[in-house]
Amino acid sequence: MKNITAAILLFLVLTGSSCQLDNLQPDPIIIVDPPFATLIGKDSITSGNYLGIGINEEAQKIYSATQSLGQTDSITHINIVSNFSVNLADLQGRIPLYDYIVFDEAKGTDSGVQLSFESGKVKSIYLNSGKSIKQWPSNSTVELSVRIGDRATDVYPKLVKIRNNGTYAHKFERLLLATKTLSTPYDVLMARSPQWYFVRRTGAGLWELIKIHFKDGKVLYIEVDKYRN
């Protein structure tokens, strides 16, 4: 399921379905396997509910409904579109809630940094160029670098030290918390996002990409894209 999920999520980013906040660059492309699923149908829900996700319901209630759905349908992650911050302090206490984060200059560069997490630790570090690295910055000490194997709870204080050191302060102009672990608590800043999306399996070789659109922290409508791989 992991590869198919990654492929569909990348397809969504590449086709421009992700929204963005005013005055911010689009979400960066997540480095994953290439897409290979075929779109076979689309639905749009504007009233009632779908899988317990109700139209006009508030974001926190929707997150709880998605967590419940995840327990029955083996959904482990949800992607939060344009979950940007421009202040590093906004990430305090939030990084362990996510499995994928990005930080970069406001304009977006090849040297922007992508961190992925697994089981509460840094699993991989990539630059936006696609280069895989074992620590960032590459020439810094343990105290002034994020490294593969670091605990997620240790990443924020390390980033504060790196930013305060000065050399890499410009790399914290735009911060994105993208892929959220459903087993972790609700993040109140998720409500600012215009869209959440996740993938669920509906049968052998069949999948749904469910996109929940929000306005003012409440569900506006739901899109369901149906795929066959």
- The residue ranges of every structural domain in the chain are 35-82+195-228, 84-192
25 against 213, higher pLDDT: 213
Residue 18 predicted with pLDDT over 80:
no
SS3 128: coil
Mean pLDDT, rounded, for 31-48: 79
Residue 191 predicted with pLDDT over 90:
yes
pLDDT > 90 fraction of the chain, expressed in percent and rounded: 77
Tokens of 78: 């949800």
pLDDT band at 32 (very low <50, low <70, confident <90, very high): very low
Mean pLDDT, rounded, for 49-62: 97
pLDDT > 70 fraction of the chain, expressed in percent and rounded: 84
Model pLDDT, residue 27: 53
Residue 161 predicted with pLDDT over 90:
yes
